Amino acid sequence: MAPTLPRFDLKDRSVLITGANRGLGAALCKTILQYSPKIIHAGYRTTPGDFEDPRIQWCQLNIADGESVAAAASSIGELDVLINNAGILIPTAADAAEETANLEAMMDLHLHHPLRLIDTLLPMLQASSQPMIVNMISMAAFASVPGCEGYCTSKAALHAATQGLRLKHPTIQCVGVYPGPTATDMTAGSTAPLADAVESAATIVSGLCEGKTAIFPDEAALAVESLVGAGVATLEQQFTTLLSD
């Protein structure tokens, strides 16, 4: 099992969630409201969500656009929790050039842009008394799913990057979340059993408050954790001293 850190209290915290207008992002937004945050900066690319609360500040944020990131950062002021949730799933293409372009798009959205966002917001996070970065990864980070190879590759990269963030920023609680297939717009038409987004969000937020560094929020994800969770956590710990004298 991944190590557990001190409990985290979301009360009076400032939170930024990317892709908060729908799917699991919207479910996370609504769930965190139950924990009395100070403010949730609810990021959206084109259209805000259809729910309102005095503690929600809808924030137009296209993480692929540097100017949009800078504008959002200047409007936030203070930040305790960053949840990198925005994502896409593009099925594998038969055409090699198209598949390369799809992989690049998913690597950008799932890896490069979240890391740039973290770098931009790092001064605000470091000023927090208990900062947290949450990366929404996928149980598919551990093994490729046929027809979604590029997606799995990009999520595996985000998993590795999350481990790296823990090494680079030891004062920031860096959490990886590994959902299984979940009922959202992204999985519309899927024949796989789908987890309920509201239930998954509740498990995720509860895990954050409990101090978990790796969260597997649904039945399919828990089955993956039973196979790889302890081994990955052990390797991560062992590798921290791999190059030490």
Could you report the per-residue pLDDT of 185-196, keeping only the tens digit for each? Answer: 777 667 788 899
Q: What is the per-residue pLDDT for 152?
A: 97
Identify whether 151 is part of a domain.
yes
CATH number for the domain including 110? 3.40.50.720
| 147-181 CB burial, b ≥16 within 10 A, e <16 | ebbbbbbbbbbbbebbbebbeebeebbbbbbbbbb
Residues 36-93 have pLDDT tens digits of 999 999 999 999 999 999 999 999 999 999 999 999 999 998 999 999 999 999 999 9
Residues 130-162 have pLDDT tens digits of 999 999 999 999 999 999 999 999 999 999 999
Number of domain units in the chain: 1
Over residues 24-45, the mean pLDDT reads 97
Identify whether 162 is part of a domain.
yes
Identify whether 244 is part of a domain.
no
C-alpha–C-alpha distance, residues 69 and 74, integer Å: 9
Domain that holds residue 157: 14-239
Contact between 96 and 29 under an 8 Å Cβ cutoff? The reply is no
**In the chain, pLDDT over 70 holds for what percent of residues?**
96
Identify whether 200 is part of a domain.
yes
Identify whether 68 is part of a domain.
yes
Query: Does 245 have pLDDT greater than 60?
Result: no
Identify whether 8 is part of a domain.
no
Identify whether 245 is part of a domain.
no
Identify whether 7 is part of a domain.
no
